Structure 1
Amino acid sequence: MKNIPSLFLSQAYRDCWDDYNRSLKLKKFPRWDYVILTASNEQQAEGFRKQLEERKSFLPKHTKFVAIPDRDGQRVGSGGATLEVLKYLRSQEESFEKLRVLVIHSGGDSKRVPQYSALGKLFSPVPHKLPNGRNSTLFDEFMICMSSVPSRIREGMVLLSGDVLLLFNPLQIDYNNVGAAAISFKEHVETGKNHGVYLNGENGNVKCCLQKKSVEVLRSVGAVNDSDCVDIDTGALIFSTEMMESLYSLIATPEDYDRHVNAKTRLSLYADFLYPLAEDSTLEEFYKEKPEGEFCPELTAARERVWKVLRPYRMKLLRLAPAKFIHFGTTREILGLMNGGVDEYKDLGWSRIVGSSIKGDTAGYNSVLSSRSTIGEGCYLEVSYVHRNSKIGYHCVLSYIEVSDREIPDNVVLHGLKQRDGSFVVRIFGIGDNPKENKLFGRDLDELEQKLGVRLWENSAHSLWEANLYAEADNIQDGVDAALNLYRIVNDESAADIEQWRNAEKKSLCSGFNAADPDAIIAWNRRMEDLVAMDEITKAIRHKVPAQKLQKRTTLTKIQKEWLKKRLDKSDFGERMRLHYYLGVVLEDENEIQECFHIIQAEMLEATVKSLSYNENARIVTDRHTVNLPLRVNWGGGWSDTPPYCNENGGTVLNVAILLNGKKPVEVTLERIDELKIVFDSRDMDVHGEFDTIEPLQATGDPFDPFALQKACLLACGIIPQKGYKLEDILRRLGGGFVMHSEVTDVPKGSGLGTSSILSAACVKAVFEFTGIDFTEEDLYAHVLAMEQIMSTGGGWQDQVGGATPGLKYISSMPGLKQEIKVTHVELPESARKELDERFVLIYTGQRRLARNLLRDVVGRYVGNEPDSLYALEEIQKTAALMRFELERGNVDGFAKLLDYHWELSKKVDAGSSNTLIEQIFSSIEEMIDGRLVCGAGGGGFLQVILKKGITREDVEKRLNEVFMDSLVGVADCKLVW
């Protein structure tokens, strides 16, 4: 059953998001005039300003964003900080009237979560990717959730606590701009005892403010209802402009300002400004209320003045429901949120993994976890990178850190912090440690100080927060090592290097926070965003996530380009080509995709050329020699022979040689001539070329060269060396010049019958025989493969095998850059041969295959890990093997069914293999055939079918003539060559 309150809040959040976007775009939309962040000191305020600057394009431009530090860098209390805000506003405006002001009190040191001290808990991560794709922080959530509030108040000041996220529907706010209002939710009493609780009066005003009272006390005063819930103090308040004026009167003169805003008086927003607003409050009890600082005469005098100006006002209690109160108070709370608690907010889009490249159960925010590292249960990575060979223990928090080849113990926080002087401090402490106390990993620090004979503190405040424990380092890895050394020292481990720690310059959690470089923190966050995006690509490649599913980007950053260069340098062939392809898809950059195909071609060529050598023993042995070869039809496994698929998976193909019009249509003739030159003559192409120097013959790779095939043949066969030599000397040794005639007769272009590759095979065979070079079938196939790579055609190896020798061939290769082809001549029962001769029919479509970028599309779908393509390519190989099995046992019907299945798989590999005409041809003879498949890549050329028993070629020819009349569509004169 759906969680109704959660769904309600989800809808409320979407409404707030819409209002947030309206505040960005609509000039007259109600928005905050000021958003003011309070900070503990100027360093923290500077960090806030830099974070605001980082977000300026996502913030309402008509709202003024301000960060105000505590006076003179001394803690003046949340009440003093509120007065500082009023002082600033009055310096900017003549009056508070008609102003809508949002104040977020965020000036704490975040002692309980030191990893957030430097930039403040306000900018700590929230496990949520915003609808605009940005990783969220508390500040971002505040801005979104509070974007609907200005329309609910005419004027006034809303104050929030910077470590509490409130999720509620702002439409429930009913405030009449009188006095003050406190926003409250119902929370269990066990939560309420650790916070403030309001006791509601009969008239809807707050009767009493109870700060951190025990459960017994809360029950005794009637603050707990029958469901064991209380009205919790969320830290969210609304002050009217009149009340703002009254508070400002406390600091109207310099003397008054000095009396109320200082480190000694240290007024509290919640203890000093709210208490007088409660109905049951008395001045006598007000004097006793626990202060934010210490009791002193100055505080007593200040409270008397506060009572005088605020007592006339009352505070309305605004109970909102449903609502959520999320406190980011301690590291343990955050770890609990990231390891299960976050599931409660999944309807809001919250997740354990946000903007991270992480596989598995580890929680992460803007982080990378190498799949070759090991990590224990219950860990949380925050703006961190865990490299391969790292071992992370159980229940760890890694924050702003990079770990390589290190072992991190269980139950620790490891936090990296760059200092303004360029050094690094890596702080390590226990998940359960409270820096306000005097323990580290459960060990008493006074005892540790005495044992080590060093001074850990420079003052009397003996707490973990102030202890000088953390060694400075020149880089992050040295900082990690120093932190791990400290862990060993505290835990009395034998591997600890105490002297190294003693001699190092050390900082405390406090001093490290004060010396932090906010620019470096922001830059690290950006860096991790960049690296996450790149690591996601490599993981997508490894886990076969389709490239098309990745988020599009416009360009690569400098960091990403550096990452890519390093990654490419150490990548193997498969990852290298896919990195370029995936980037081409992600960036929509054709150059990257072309680089992918260039790598495929280059790798294939390099692997092939290594085995080539110049043959100095070749001699012309006859004046004239002719080779004629048949064509082929592919029955199973087509595309599995194509690089890079065959290089990574091996290939399996079943094909058979055919005669067309009773002939072997591929012909190559070599003829000796007296002149020391080489002549190429291609009758069907109508081109003629003569060469008396060697350099033009060695120039290959131009796809528009009309003699690319002939040149590649001479290079592959070793007749012409790849470099150097003189053509005259070579031909004199051979015994003369020669003419190479090549021709494919009566075969339409784009037939799908393998003509170009079979012509290559005919050229190689003719050259070998003309020059007296001994060769085997395997030699022939290998040299044709080399030829194809020299020409950079990118095609597979099945065509040349199909036509080079007669009969049915089962052809396979194992994975590897250099493909070694194994050919098995399949023997069929005589009855099966006869049946195939009768039932096999070749049909011409009358159209040439369309000039599509076919090979690129098919290879791109494979390289890009498109699921349909990967599945079909694997199935296609299996189908070829099953076809062989059925034919060897004479089952032509079983073979026909597999041919039909293959046709469906072929369309998954390339949807362009079929078209309206092809489907119409197959449809017109549907009841006459048991199996169908296009020849070659399809899209035109020839089709092949297996007829039903009793159906003749003449029957098919008649049907096609009836449907297509005088077109070129018809049955071809074809004979299988056994």
Structure 2
Amino acid sequence: MAPGGAEWTVVVLTCQHKDSVRAFQRELEIRKRRGVLPPESILLTVEDPQAHVGSGGATLNALLVAAEHLSAKAGYTVVSSDVLNDARLLILHMGRDFLFDACGRGFTVLPVEDPHAPVECVTCNLDSLLATLRYQLCPASPPGVWICSTDMVLMLPSNPVLNWAEFRGARVISVPGTLEYAMKHGVYLADERGLVRDIVYCGSEQRIQTCVLEDGRVPLVSGIVFLSAEMADRFLSTLALPPLDGCTYQGLDSGWGAQHGLSLFLDVLMSMAQDVDKESFLHGAPDTPQLPDRIQGARAVLWKELHDLPLSMVYIPDGRYEYLTTDASEHIQNLIRAASQGPMCSKTAHSYATHPQLIVDGSSVVNSYLDGEVQVSPGSVIQNCHLMGPLRVGRGCLLADIDQAGALVLRGHELSDVILQAHPVQIQNLPLMVYTMLGTKDQLQDTAGSATYVNLPWDEFFHRTGICANDLWGLETPSHKRSLLTTPLFPVLHPTESLGAADVLWFLGSTDGDHLKRWRSSWRMSWQQLRQHLDRERTLEMRRKVFFSQKREKLQKALLAREEGSLLPAIRCAVQEGSQELLLTTLDHVASVAEDPGVAARALACIADILGVMAGGEGGLRSGPAANKAWASVYQLLEKGCIAEGVRQLAAERGKWLSRPALLIRAARHYEGAEQILIRRAVMSSSQFVSIGQRELPALEHWVSAECPARIDMSGGWSDTPPITYEHGGAVVNVAVLVDGQRPIGARARRIPTAEIHVCSDSGPRGAQLHTELRVASLEDLQDYCQPQAPGALLKAAFICSGTVSMTSHKSLQGQLMEAYGGGFELHTWSHLPHGSGLGTSSILAGAALAVLYEASGRSADTESLIHAVLYLEQVLTTGGGWQDQVGGLIPGVKIGRSSPQLPLRVRVQEIELPDAFLQTLSRHLLLVYTGKTRLARNLLQDVLRNWYGRLPAIVQNADALVHNAELCAQAFGTGNLSRLGDCLNQYWLQKKCMAPGCEPLAVRRIMDTLEPYVHGQSLAGAGGGGFLYLLTKEPDQKEALQQLLEKTQGLGRCSVHSVQVSTQQFTVCRGERSHTEDHV
């Protein structure tokens, strides 16, 4: 058994009509892909061997078919009942046709919408029953056969505990009911041990009184039964004996005659009831008609094979059973009541309305799209419809399966107390749409004398419409056979005109004689005749179309209005049901028309998700390269801002990559590459907050320099990362710090006489630095500035983003340099921190490089401008990244940066005023530990952005929590509370792990566990995954003690502890030789 859910070996769905088999089989397969059914189950849709075979006959036939499949799988050449010994079977019976749903009670939609479901889909009664069976009733059961009718809604608020110790025979599931309700249904009579003594069906009040339990209620027959493997074996063996050999398809194929219906409850299970004597069972009770010979013969076989097996009952006191009735008013009320019960019930489940305020409480709309002013009154239900306003649906209505063509006809009408349904039918391979109408008070079985139609006596209906009795029944039909069920009311085909909803709407009152004439000229059918021609495959496909139509509107609204709901459940559903093209087209449209590049980027990210889901877990990792030449021209269009044309060409290229999983994954990567381009364009809007001043050019060969502290992010990181920062809003608290008394990051630049650029960078700890030196003599040498892995890419990008050099100028590099500056530049940068430190090195280095370039070229920029200029540079460099690193390194002390959920992206920084002496206290308690592991932030970033664009609920909630925790952290700094600061750090680390699972390697966890008793709080710096760990120690001045602790711990000897001082010196660019000014704390 899988934890939490039953794993059935075989799932069988039985149905009456052979034309339904393919449609229902597809529905089972969709549910397997959706995870509703176990992934290893064999799925079988089995047509009843003949009409009216009964629930017992359908069960026996299904059992035979399942045994055949298992026998073949086991290598047998004949059916062997041995395969049932360890098998777990589920048999679901669709049962008889249902007046209010063309696909039967099992596919009747329920007013349920689970916002947390991994796959968004309409909930049918079948889905509800499967969930109850798989997770509440079946998980602990032994091998055997579960049998479930789908003609009822069953709710079990709590999980019943079923005792299977020493179980034999069969077990029935019962829920409580009232005496009045039981008189119309079945009820068990059981003893104190739970053994069934009798089954009473539609019994008298006196008889049902004998079944009343201690709680004053009666145990209803719920339609759920479990057969042990032993009983299933015995029951299966009966098909070899007449007359039960005629109950299966084998009997039909062998030419045996029609078999009377065999009831699972009143024949099969009744043979096991304790109080039932053989004589009355075989021949019927004395006061009842003699049973047919074949039924007596079947009962004799069942008595012989099964009577010695016990039949036990499990009574679930808080369970609720509701038969899907054929009484129209009662059915409507049941659906409306269900729409208001439980947290997942909704009056507008899986529906979209342009005027939702017109859907009032006390109504129910399921899987429908209401376009325009569609008013839905209390007491009315709409299912699987696409309606158009103006339309008033008054009280007591049920509208089902009406498409756009029918909706056009309905516009302007006012309906009340009627049931209007559209039925896809197929007659001699001719697909047609037939509309039917019924009044909520009409009873199909009533004969003409007492019957009504559209809530009117027949005489009044004839007077209203001009129809006469001979039009319906002719002279030969006696009055006692003139039931509504068999009356040919509904136009199916006209010799010259098309038919539609108008051909039944006129029944409600029309003075237009053309309606009557056309009605009389049409070939018409009754309810009973229509049932034989219903096209259930088309019906289910129409419902699927309605679902994705309303979902398309919701999706467009969610994207364009920047709503936070996850679209992944709808994406998974579309792919599983083969409707992904509709969503792809919708997303193409949104990306094309969105004025906001951030919205367009999210739409492209959703397309990447669709392609990834289509790959079905195959084809490789989602993250990977995205620079195939086939997509290059499209990327160029997006870079130029030609978004609509770029999206169109993306879609055209996409069509070439759909044939297999590997191509789908590669296409998904390239869509994420396109998404990154649009994110860059969105973030580049921050360049408007870069303000550049003019200064005198420094002398040739004179250095200008800047040194920067590192930064420690104390709370809120990830909320500063595009697109999170401009879609959700961000807040980050961080601290500028000296590491071992030094500012570890810096840059210097000078003008040189030659018209070229020299760049030099040193990175890594002293004594182990990586030295890079480049000479740039032409614009071609700068072409790789946007490739982060290219040597000197960041420094090349700094020249371009600072405007020192233009890549689009018609002038050469030498020409630009000589004309503007009278020579070239030399730019040196350095970082004494290890690669992947997590202390914000690259962004702070970019800020320093831009600052010295501005100064060396006779310009200046304040820190706010530098913060936004770095944002721009990192987008040009295609590394992405947020704003907190440069805020931390360019602005001294402790501060909180914030961004609003809007474009253009602007960062505002507030320095936090600390209590007296708390700065010294903080520096004595704050330490860095180098873990020795290099983090892989690029992979982490790709995963985080994918999850954010998917709007996974956990990620959205975590983004909220990050911002909230940052505000709490700022307050803790403001009050000088180390303990609260430590709590914020610990919470922050949990939030980082939620945002980027995998950012805590096992080696780091060991270090944190070792240090945990000595700290208020701790976290890996930056994105996590490696680099530096920062600690807020409980005791001051713990560097040496903790270094010794780590050295003594096996496997942690390579870790190094570093002192930290809060840097309070303002960021400045110095002219002349490199400054050696130190901070004083």
TM-score, normalised on structure 1?
0.65
1:413 aligns with 2:500: no
SS in 2 for 1:792: coil
CA radius of gyration, larger in:
1
> Is this contact kept in 1: 2:105–2:125, CA < 8 A?
no
SS at match of 1:515: coil
1:31: which partner in 2?
Answer: none
Alignment of 1:533-682 (within 5 A): 556-567=576-587, 569-570=589-590, 572=599, 576=603, 579=606, 590=622, 598=673, 601-609=676-684, 621-622=697-698, 623-624=700-701, 625-634=703-712, 636-639=714-717, 640-658=719-737, 661=741, 665-675=745-755, 677-682=756-761
Q: CA 1:956–1:636 in structure 2 vs 1: closer, same or farther (change >3 Å)?
A: closer
Q: How many Å separate the matches in 1 of 2:434 and 2:986?
A: 62
Counterpart check, 1:864 vs 2:952: yes
Within a 5 Å distance, the mapping from 1:48-447 to structure 2 comes to 48=21, 51=24, 65-69=46-50, 110=97, 113-116=98-101, 118-119=102-103, 137=126, 190-191=180-181, 194=184, 245=242, 278=280, 321-322=313-314, 327-330=323-326, 359-362=344-347, 373=356, 384-386=367-369, 392-403=376-387, 408-416=393-401, 417-420=423-426, 421-427=430-436, 429-437=438-446, 438-444=451-457, 446-447=459-460
1:517 to 497, 513, 535: 535
Which of these residues, 47, 54, 63, is aligned with residue 20 of structure 2? Answer: 47
Tell me how far apart the structure 2 counterparts of residues 539 and 686 of structure 1 sit (CA, whole Å).
Answer: 52
Q: 1:782 is matched by which residue type in structure 2? A: H
CA-based RMSD of the aligned residues comes to 7.0
Question: Helix, strand or coil: the match of 2:881?
Answer: coil
Q: 1:864 to 1:596 in 2, by over 3 A?
A: farther
CA deviation profile, 1:870-917 (whole Å, cap 9, x unmatched): 354023321354256x2xxxx5x33x3443233112211224479357
Confirm or deny: 8 A CA contact 1:359 1:371 kept in the other structure.
no
Deviation at 1:563, TM superposition (A): 2.3
Taking structure 2 as the reference length, the TM-score comes to 0.60
**Is the contact between residue 811 and residue 823 of structure 1 (CA under 8 Å) also seen in structure 2?**
yes
- Alpha-carbon offset, residue 646 of structure 1: 1.8
The one of 936, 941, 952 equivalent to 2:1028 is: 941
Task: Tell me whether 1:900 sits opposite 2:982 in the alignment.
Answer: yes
**Contact 2:714–2:969 (CA under 8 A) maintained in structure 1:** yes
1:877 paired residue number: 966
* Secondary structure in structure 1 of the residue aligned to 2:48: strand
SS in 2 for 1:114: coil
Q: Does 1:845 align with 2:929?
A: yes
Q: Is the 8 A contact 2:683 2:722 kept in 1?
A: no
> One-letter code of the match for 1:725?
H
Which range moves more in the overlay, 769-778 or 836-845?
Answer: 836-845
Distance across 2 between alignment mates of 1:905 and 1:38 = 55
CA shift digits 1:334-369 (9 cap, x unpaired): 5666667899xxxxxxxx89xxxx9544597xx667
Letter in 2 for 1:704: Q
CA contact (8 A) 1:751 1:848 kept: no
Show the 5 A alignment for 1:490-505: none
Deviation (angstroms), 1:858: 5.5
Which deviates the most, 436-445 or 626-635? 436-445
Q: Distance in 1 between matches of 2:1060 and 2:239?
A: 97
1 CA distance for matches of 2:969 and 2:836?
24
Structure-2 separation of matches of 1:399 and 1:817: 41
Give the secondary structure class of the aligned counterpart of 1:690: strand
Q: 2:878 corresponds to which residue?
A: 792
Taking structure 1 as reference, are residues 583 and 822 closer, same or farther at Cα in structure 2, changes over 3 Å only?
same
Following superposition, the deviation at residue 713 of structure 1 comes to 2.0
Provide the C-alpha distance between the structure 2 equivalents of 1:934 and 1:560, rounded to a whole number of angstroms: 41
> Aligned partners of 2:108, 2:847: CA distance in 1, in Å?
67
Structure 2 contact 926–1032 (Cα < 8 Å) conserved: yes
Query: Which of 939, 948, 969 does residue 1057 from structure 2 map onto?
Result: 969
- 1:758 and 2:844 are equivalent in the alignment: yes
Does the aligned pair in 2 maintain the 1:413–1:429 contact within 8 Å?
no
Match among 867, 877, 886 for residue 781 of structure 1:
867
Closer, same or farther: CA 851–229 of 1 in aligned 2, 3 Å = closer
Contact map agreement 2:735 2:1062 (CA 8 A) in 1? no
Query: What is the CA–CA distance in structure 1 between the aligned matches of 2:1000 and 2:199, rounded to whole Å?
Result: 77
Which residue in the other structure is 1:450 paired with? 463
State the 1:606 CA deviation. Answer: 0.8
Q: CA deviation at 1:704?
A: 1.0
**Structure-2 change in CA distance of 1:742 and 1:493 (3 Å):** farther
State the identity as a percent: 18
Alignment of 1:737-752 (within 5 A): 737-752=823-838
User: In 1, distance between residues paired with 2:444 and 2:693?
Assistant: 85
How many angstroms apart in 1 are the aligned matches of 2:92 and 2:1032?
79
Deviations 1:26-58 (Å, cap 9, x if unpaired)?
Answer: xxxxxxxxx99795xxxx343257646876999
Task: State the shift of 1:787 in Å.
Answer: 0.3
Unaligned runs of 5+ in 1: 1-12, 25-34, 71-75, 176-181, 201-206, 250-256, 290-302, 344-351
Aligned to 1:30: none
In the alignment, is the contact (CA less than 8 A) between 1:628 and 1:762 conserved in 2?
yes
Aligned length, in residue pairs: 854
Q: Could you say if the C-alpha distance between residues 561 and 370 of structure 1 is closer, same or farther in structure 2, counting changes exceeding 3 Å?
A: farther
Partners of 1:419 and 1:515 within 8 A in 2: yes
- Give the secondary structure class of the aligned counterpart of 2:905: coil
Partner secondary structure for residue 419 of structure 1? strand
| Aligned-partner residue type, residue 757 of structure 2 | I
Secondary structure (helix, strand or coil) at the match of 1:448 reads: helix
1:263-316 Cα deviation digits (max 9, x unpaired): xxx999999999x985998999989x9xxxxxxxxxxxxx99989999999989
| CA separation of 1:334 and 1:628: change in aligned 2, threshold 3 A | same
Q: CA deviation at 1:778?
A: 3.3
Contact 2:605 2:672 (8 Å CA) reproduced: no
**Structure 1 residues 875 and 706, CA, compared in 2 at 3 Å: closer, same or farther?**
same
Cα distance in 2 for partners of 1:516, 1:922 equals 71
Q: The residue matched to 1:850 in structure 2 has which SS?
A: coil
| Equivalent of 1:459 in 446, 449, 473 | 473
User: CA 1:734/1:139 → structure 2, altered by over 3 Å: closer, same or farther?
Assistant: closer
Give the whole-Å Cα distance in 1 for the aligned partners of 2:968 and 2:706.
31
Rounded Cα–Cα distance in structure 1 between residues aligned with 2:752 and 2:292: 119
What's the CA shift string for 1:45-73, capped at 9, x where partnerless?
Answer: 43257646876999998999553455xxx
- Three-state SS of the structure 2 residue aligned to 1:910 is helix
> Is the contact made by 1:629 and 1:758 (CA closer than 8 Å) also made in structure 2?
no
Counterpart AA for 1:419: V
Bigger shift: 454-463 or 649-658? Answer: 454-463
Q: Distance in 1 between matches of 2:212 and 2:21?
A: 39
Partner deviation per Cα, 1:748-807 (whole Å, 9 max, x = no partner): 434444332122112222232333345444333222210011122232212223433555
Q: Are 1:718 and 2:803 counterparts?
A: yes
C-alpha distance in 1, partners of 2:24/2:884? Answer: 61
Query: Quick check: 1:396–1:411 contact (8 Å CA) kept in 2?
Result: yes
After superposition, the Cα gap between the structure-2 partners of 1:119 and 1:652, relative to the gap in structure 1 and judged at 3 Å, is: closer
